[in-house]
Structure 1
Amino acid sequence: MGKIIIGTSSIPFGEIKKGNWPDCGPYFDRSLAFCQAWLNGEASFQLNTSGSTGTPKTIDISRRQMEISAAATGKFFDIEPKANLLCCLNTDMIAGKMMLVRGLEWDSIIYLQEPSGTPLADLDGLGTFGFVAMVPAQVENSLLYSIEKLKNIQHLIIGGAPLSHKLQKEISQLSCNAYQTYGMTETVSHIALAKITGLPPLIYRTLPGVTISTSKDSCLVINAPMANTTLTTNDKVTIPAANTFIWQGRADFTINSGGIKIQPEKLEVEIASTMEMHLPGKRYFIAGAPDEKWGQRVVLVIESAPISTAKREQIESEIAAKVKKHERPKNIYFIENFTETPSGKIKRIASLEQVLDKFI
């Protein structure tokens, strides 16, 4: 039978089922209480959505949905029983909870850590991890401080936020099998994965049992047993082949400037090398601000202190050479901190409203 390892404590699943574990602190107690409920056959769980595109809400997810999700991921990666798993995500959210469920269902050894920016830093002499899930910031820090340990991960999935072009290239040079995830709480974590090759675009492949199509507006429609219903998303995609798709961006972020539709996420990829060169590590996004003549105009919002006029003009010049005339940002705004969801995703609309309140 599998077990959960917390620091120097090794707790077999059988003991967790009985409620026998040492006092390890609130985060670990909540995580182990969830595992205890799972091992004792709890049929339904309440989970919070991230709120990345609206108000966070609580939804009921059935045990069967979570079982199907774990089985599909295990089949996709051909995970061996008793593999070492590292759970270093927030287990109050779907991504962290599903790491626990996978370990419980796969009879694994789960190394449970409280979420931090450097999840591999204190893990010495543990050999290879069969399966790990991280957010981009954790991977970025691990590349700086724990790259040899990162190379010892057999299968790495990365979610929670899009990967920068620079980070994709760095990950693609690792020996581990790394994928960007696509999913949400309503789909019980990911329903598709894209191999990180360093060459755009990312091509997502669905998990076993998942079928996809598009709506009349080219938005992704998901039929997935783990979702328990048909979901029409706000994600614009193209489907190059059966069971695969290329993500284009959010329909609700589309900019309509004088009748021309502009997809901000696509522009963000195109200007990524310029932003990384002049403002390395700074987060940014493209958005549509109100415009009396055109309805909306393209703006660039950067999480940074203001920069010199010369550097700003250099960025504007380089962007102008990369994108079409109507896609060029008409304004660049700087803001100290973006508004975020509890899981660390940028809340674009709320962050843009901060800018509009301050500058317009």
Structure 2
Amino acid sequence: MGQIILEHQTFSFNEILAGKWQVEAPYFKESLLFCQDWLSGKQEFVLKTSGSTGNPKDILVTRSQMEKSAKATAEFFKIPTQPLLLGCINTAMIGGKMMLVRAMEWDASIYLCQPSSDPLKEAWLQQPYDFVAMVPMQVESSLRSQEQTQFLRKIKTLIIGGATSSPKLVAEIKKARLNAFQTYGMTETVSHIALAKIESGDLIYSVLPEVKIGVDDQSCLWIEAPMAQEKRLQTNDIVELVAPTSFKWLGRADFIINSGGVKIHPEIIEKQIEKIIAASLGPINYFIIGEADEYLGQRAVLIIESELYQKKEQELLEVLKSNLNKYESPKKIYGIPSFQRTDSGKINRHETFKLCGLN
């Protein structure tokens, strides 16, 4: 029988449906109220988008969409009956809510905790889970601990979403030999519609059952999925189709830099320079963005999450220049102490860009 396990309380889904539960923490109260609505048959739910490419907004999703998403994920991973789950990402967002839906649809037992960067440090959460969803920050934090890494290895299926894993994190996951998958999806598709096994080579995303994909004339991905309301959902994600049901993600069209008529994909450059940045500045967060330039229209600049770079700036720019072409090579480095992030943990490039005093 399915149940939700808190640190000091356990409630069966029957008890939640009957209202035989009481918790004080607002986070758990909101989570259990959602479960009670679901178990009582509620048909529509209002969810918030992450705001990674614009202002966050509310969208209405149906029960049917969420059921289809949970069913497709179970089929994709061949989830066993009555599995053990961990709910450690924010249930106010689609990823967290879908973990609750999966638990109820799969008749699972789910350990539910307040979202934190380091959930596996809690002894009561160190369990042999069948299925877990985390954001990159949580995986990265857990991998810093030898004990927590051992528990990550025991997770039969770990999906990572909310943001794209950095090249550094992908390398660490491979080294730790985790059975981990990077997700691709959005609130409009009710969580992920494709997953990429993190293993040797490039990440290749395979779509869930009954999902169809293609590209427009700008190589941007379109999606036809039973868990989406729109018949065809057009994205701004530039991809390379590998097969009718799989693709490589290259970057976002709205992040493209037009420098002297040359189109530059920041995300591709970021992967290429990961080792150079790590060797010069250590394990820091960074991204490439376009800065207005009178001659080129835009020029590439490097934004780093650190202010301790000035002594190495010129040396680093020279190394980057020798490894990239003249348009791709950053012309300037800007450092700030902390990046702006969305509620789901994604780096908000445009808001961070503003903090640097750029235009």
Instruction: State the TM bucket, normalised to the shorter chain.
Output: over 0.9
Per-residue CA shift, 1:253-303, capped at 9, x if unaligned? 100011100000000000111112222332111011111111100100111
Q: CA deviation at 1:175?
A: 4.2
Match of 1:216 in 2: 217
1:169/1:198 contact within 8 Å kept: no
1:196/1:202 contact within 8 Å kept: yes
Residue in structure 1 matching 2:189, options 187, 190, 195? 187
Normalised by the length of structure 2, the TM-score is: 0.96
Match of 2:357 in 1: 356
> Partner letter of residue 210 of structure 1?
V
Match of 1:56 in 2: 56
1:220/1:237 contact within 8 Å kept: yes
In 1, the alpha carbon distance for the partners of 2:112 and 2:352 equals 33
The verdict on how the C-alpha distance between 1:333 and 1:198 changes in structure 2, with shifts beyond 3 A counting, is farther
Paired residues, what number? Answer: 356
- SS at structure 2 position matched to 1:99: helix
Match of 2:102 in 1: 102
- CA RMSD in angstroms, aligned pairs only: 1.4
In 1, the alpha carbon distance for the partners of 2:279 and 2:63 equals 47
Q: CA deviation at 1:325?
A: 2.0
Match of 2:245 in 1: 243
Per-residue CA shift, 1:112-165, capped at 9, x if unaligned? 010011111113585410000001110011111211111110000001112121
Matched, 1:177 2:216: no
In 1, the alpha carbon distance for the partners of 2:65 and 2:132 equals 21
The verdict on how the C-alpha distance between 1:308 and 1:291 changes in structure 2, with shifts beyond 3 A counting, is closer
- SS at structure 1 position matched to 2:327: helix
Q: CA deviation at 1:28?
A: 0.4
> Partner letter of residue 279 of structure 1?
L
2:160/2:182 contact within 8 Å kept: yes
Within-5 A mapping of 1:39-54:
39-54=39-54
Gaps of 5+ in 1: none
> Partner letter of residue 66 of structure 1?
M
> Partner letter of residue 253 of structure 2?
A
- SS at structure 1 position matched to 2:119: coil
> Partner letter of residue 348 of structure 1?
R
1:170/1:198 contact within 8 Å kept: no
Per-residue CA shift, 1:48-101, capped at 9, x if unaligned? 001100011000000000000000001000001111000000000000000000
Q: CA deviation at 1:198?
A: 4.4
- SS at structure 1 position matched to 2:121: coil
> Partner letter of residue 281 of structure 1?
P
Within-5 A mapping of 1:134-153:
134-145=134-145, 146-153=148-155
Within-5 A mapping of 1:68-217:
68-124=68-124, 127-145=127-145, 146-199=148-201, 201-217=202-218
- Worse-superposed segment, 161-170 or 315-324: 315-324
> Partner letter of residue 31 of structure 1?
S
Q: CA deviation at 1:326?
A: 1.6
- SS at structure 1 position matched to 2:123: coil
Match of 2:235 in 1: 233
Match of 1:302 in 2: 304
In 2, the alpha carbon distance for the partners of 1:124 and 1:277 equals 38
Q: CA deviation at 1:246?
A: 0.5
In 2, the alpha carbon distance for the partners of 1:356 and 1:14 equals 54
- Worse-superposed segment, 277-286 or 57-66: 277-286
- Worse-superposed segment, 169-178 or 183-192: 169-178
Matched, 1:2 2:2: yes
2:126/2:151 contact within 8 Å kept: no
In 2, the alpha carbon distance for the partners of 1:84 and 1:124 equals 14
In 2, the alpha carbon distance for the partners of 1:189 and 1:212 equals 16
- Worse-superposed segment, 84-93 or 344-353: 344-353
1:183/1:192 contact within 8 Å kept: yes
- SS at structure 1 position matched to 2:330: coil
In 2, the alpha carbon distance for the partners of 1:119 and 1:2 equals 22
1:168/1:198 contact within 8 Å kept: no
Match of 2:273 in 1: 271
2:120/2:126 contact within 8 Å kept: no
In 1, the alpha carbon distance for the partners of 2:126 and 2:106 equals 19
> Partner letter of residue 263 of structure 2?
K
- Worse-superposed segment, 295-304 or 163-172: 163-172
2:153/2:179 contact within 8 Å kept: no
2:163/2:344 contact within 8 Å kept: no
Identity value in percent: 50
> Partner letter of residue 13 of structure 1?
F
> Partner letter of residue 338 of structure 2?
N
- Worse-superposed segment, 273-282 or 59-68: 273-282
> Partner letter of residue 333 of structure 2?
I
The verdict on how the C-alpha distance between 1:14 and 1:97 changes in structure 2, with shifts beyond 3 A counting, is same
Q: CA deviation at 1:345?
A: 1.3
> Partner letter of residue 296 of structure 1?
Q
Match of 2:16 in 1: 16
- SS at structure 2 position matched to 1:266: helix
